[in-house]
Amino acid sequence: MTPVLSVRNLFRIFGTACSRCFDGNDEICGNKCPWCGAIVACKNISFDLYPEEVLGIVGESGSGKSTLLKILYFEEEPTSGEMFIHLTKRNACFPGEAFMGSVDAANVLSLNSYQKRLFRNHYMGMVYQNPFLGLRMHISAGGNIAEKLFMAGFRNIAKIRERAIYLLEKTEVPGNRLDESPASFSGGMQQRVQIAKALSNVPMLLFLDEPTTGLDLSVQARVLDLIKSLQKEMRLATIVVSHDLGIIRHLTTRTMVMKDGEIVEAGLTDQVLEDPQHPFTQLLVCSTL
Amino acid sequence: MNLLNVDSISKTFTIHILSGKIIEGFKDVSFTVPRGTALGISGPSGSGKSSVLKCIYGSYLTTRGDIWYESPRFGRLNLTRSPLRTINQIREMEIGYITQFLKVIPRVSALDIVSAPLMEAGAFRKAARSAAGDLLEQLGIPQRLFEAYPATFSGGEQQRVNIARAIIKAPHLLILDEPTACLDADTTSVVLDILLALRKKGTTMIGIFHQPEILARFSDAIYRMKTDSDRGTIQ
């Protein structure tokens, strides 16, 4: 089976990089290059994501997990590296299908910014830890979803509205609050609107960046259940970034552990959590309450 | 024909927090499990019985040795060297694993937990739920608990939900790590009957049981682990 997403040798270096930043040798302790002082946020990242798979990325803050996710979502330019996406045909009601046929098997990081935007609008969804990043707070909840659908090529306003109501109901946001702005919603509701927005274009790739950090326990549980059931129902290939091992265990089948910009360990989630190999992972697992 | 061929596997743990101390889980374990039979594993606590099972299931990485498994879908595989994706698919389709502890998904009803494997395999919700209900009933879970969350159940009830979830799809290989640890004698007997019926239908099993009489009833052959690292034996 071909992976939906393949990432090869991805680097993201902040500052002026020297050639030795790329060597990936072990002399570099931490993520600061001792020769030129540049910060290596992502160091030689390679992995595959398969259809319907949920991949977890864990690591402490500053390990580069969010930077990696931002690169995948085209929000950040990598310093070097390649990313391939294999498209599968979707429902014919989704516009813009024809355009995308041509980019299959090309390094999508080398597309121009217009193509990247199209790609993101049609095929990707992102849920941020902070709803302010994913939503326009002073546009109605329905408008937020409509915006994404509009960018994904939907033009029929009645259909857009119908879909927005459907999605909000799926994410347990009362349909009668469609026309209110998320600024007046609680944190948990904002997060659910964000999920509705991220899922509105039926993405092929769903990225979750600490989706429930900062929510209280019962809301966190509901949001997690929601993500899990929608992921199963829509068969989304998903990447979850979190520092909470409970969430990783709950949502993912495979996990990568990042430290100082590098993937130090990868495996089946239960194996990584029960039989961690790398010193950092052992420390991480031992630190769980 | 052997469904499972465990070929001199060993497991060591390197504990980096103890400055790289190496702890031996078990050493040189070899056995074969013919298709449609049940192998029991016995030995004192700490001899590495559970670790052997975890190596087979893939929760532990095997340090040395090979585990050959005859998959109906993928053919003969070395489980210690198969791609993670293949292991995942095998787990979904072919191998069931029951531990002493139910790792419950919170906030999912007993009936949904048990019917989930069937629905993932493509069964309709109604049929899956009714099959799950039948199985739970057979295991003595009262109907009024079907819609409750197993996290709130007693130890024995949780254990039965755990068993039901693992056997509902009649897996090819069933790995049992003390599935009857917290059950009373009657329920244990019911569980054993269900397991034996499954075996008759062709499920191969490998299991740990603490009570000797249950182990004897369950097993076609018994592998004895030794703590002092000599070779275990099949009897």
More confident residue, B92 or A56: A56
Cβ within 8 Å of residue B228, ≥6 positions away:
none
**Which of B214, B211, B194, B212 is CA-nearest to residue B203?**
B194
Over residues A212-218, the mean pLDDT reads 80
Q: Do residue A275 and residue B84 have CB atoms under 8 angstroms apart?
A: no
CATH assignment of B2-13+23-94+171-234, given 3.30.360.10, 3.40.225.10, 3.40.50.300, 3.50.50.60? Answer: 3.40.50.300
Nearest to A106 by CA among A87, A92, A123: A87
DSSP class of B18? G
Q: Does the CB of A175 have a partner CB in chain B at under 8 Å? A: no
Interface residues of B toward A, Cβ cutoff 8 Å, are 13-17, 54, 58-61, 84-85, 87-88, 105-108
3-state SS assignment for residue B159: helix
Instruction: Give the chain A residue whose CA is nearest to the CA of B86.
Output: A1
Q: Which of B51, B73, B84, B112 to mutate to test the interface with A (most CBs of A within 10 A)?
A: B84
| 8 Å CB contact of B58 and A268 | yes
Is A217's Cβ below 8 Å from some Cβ in B?
no
Nearest 5°: CA angle at B82, between B79 and B85? Answer: 115
Element (H, E) at A160: helix A157-170
Is residue A238 predicted with pLDDT exceeding 90? yes
Nearest CB among A254, A282, A286 relative to B84 is that of A254
pLDDT at A136 over 80: yes
Cross-chain residue pair B15–A274, CB shorter than 8 Å: no
Which residues does chain B have within 8 Å of residue A283's beta carbon, measured at their own beta carbons? Answer: 16-17
A195-207 CB burial, b ≥16 within 10 A, e <16: bbbbbbbbbbbbb
CA distance A286 to A77: 35
Asked whether the ipTM of the predicted complex exceeds the cut of 0.95, the reply is no
Does the beta-carbon distance from B85 to A50 stay under 8 Å? yes
3-state secondary structure of A99: helix
Is A48 or A60 the better-scoring residue by pLDDT? A48
Query: How far does B41 lie from chain A, in Å, by closest CA?
Result: 21
Query: How do the domains of chain B map onto residue ranges?
Result: 2-13+23-94+171-234, 106-160
Q: Residues A278, B82, B84, CA angle at the centre, nearest 5°?
A: 60
d(CA A128, CA A132): 8
Hey, which residues 51-70 in chain A have their CB within 8 Å of chain B? 53
Amino acid at B165: R
Give the pLDDT of residue A100.
56
The mean pLDDT of A40-67, rounded to a whole number, is 91
Spell out where A50-115 has E strands. 54-58, 80-85
Q: Is A267 on the interface with B (CB under 8 A)?
A: yes
* C-alpha–C-alpha distance, residues B213 and A282, integer Å: 39
CA distances (Å), origin A75, targets A44, B122, B177:
19, 38, 47
User: Looking at residue B234, what is its pLDDT?
Assistant: 59
B15–A282: do the CB atoms touch at under 8 Å? yes
Per the CB < 8 Å rule, is B105 touching A283? no
A43–B contact, CB cutoff 8 A: no
Q: What is chain A's alpha carbon radius of gyration, rounded to the nearest angstrom?
A: 19
Nearest-CB residue to A271 (from B13, B15, B61): B61
Chain B interface test: which of A212, A232, A270 (most B C-beta within 10 Å): A270
Over residues A254-282, mean pLDDT: 93
The pLDDT assigned to B17 comes to: 85
Q: Does A253 touch chain B (CB under 8 A)?
A: yes
A274 and B54: CB-CB below 8 Å? yes
pLDDT digits (tens, 9 = 90+) for B99-113: 877 676 677 889 989
Distance CA B149, CA B132 (A): 15
Within 8 A of A277 by CB-CB distance, chain B residues are 14, 61
Instruction: Identify the pLDDT of residue B177.
Output: 92
Give the three-state DSSP class for A15: coil
Cα separation, B164 vs B117, whole angstroms: 10
Amino acid letter at B39? L
pLDDT of residue A208: 94
Q: Which has the higher per-residue pLDDT, A29 or B173?
A: B173
Q: Do A274 and B105 touch (CB under 8 A)?
A: no
Element spanning B50, H or E: helix B49-57
Residues of chain A with C-beta less than 8 angstroms from the C-beta of B87? 268
Confidence (pTM): 0.88
| Cα A207–Cα A210–Cα A212 angle in degrees, nearest 5 | 115
Residue A91: pLDDT band with limits 50, 70, 90: very low
Chain A residues with beta carbon closer than 8 angstroms to that of B13: 275
Which chain A residue lies closest to B20 (C-alpha atoms)? Answer: A279
Q: What was the pLDDT predicted at A203?
A: 87
Distance of residue A266 Cα from the nearest chain B Cα, in angstroms: 10
Q: What are the residue ranges in chain B where pLDDT is below 70? A: 102, 104-105, 227-235
Strand ordering across the sheet containing B21-34? B21-34, B2-15, B64-71, B75-78
Around Cβ A52, how many Cβ atoms within 10 Å? 15
Is B61 in contact with A275 (Cβ distance < 8 A)? yes
Q: Is A229 on the interface with B (CB under 8 A)?
A: no
Are B107 and A1 within 8 A, CB to CB? no
pLDDT in tens, A151-201: 888 888 999 998 899 888 888 888 888 899 999 998 888 998 999 999 888
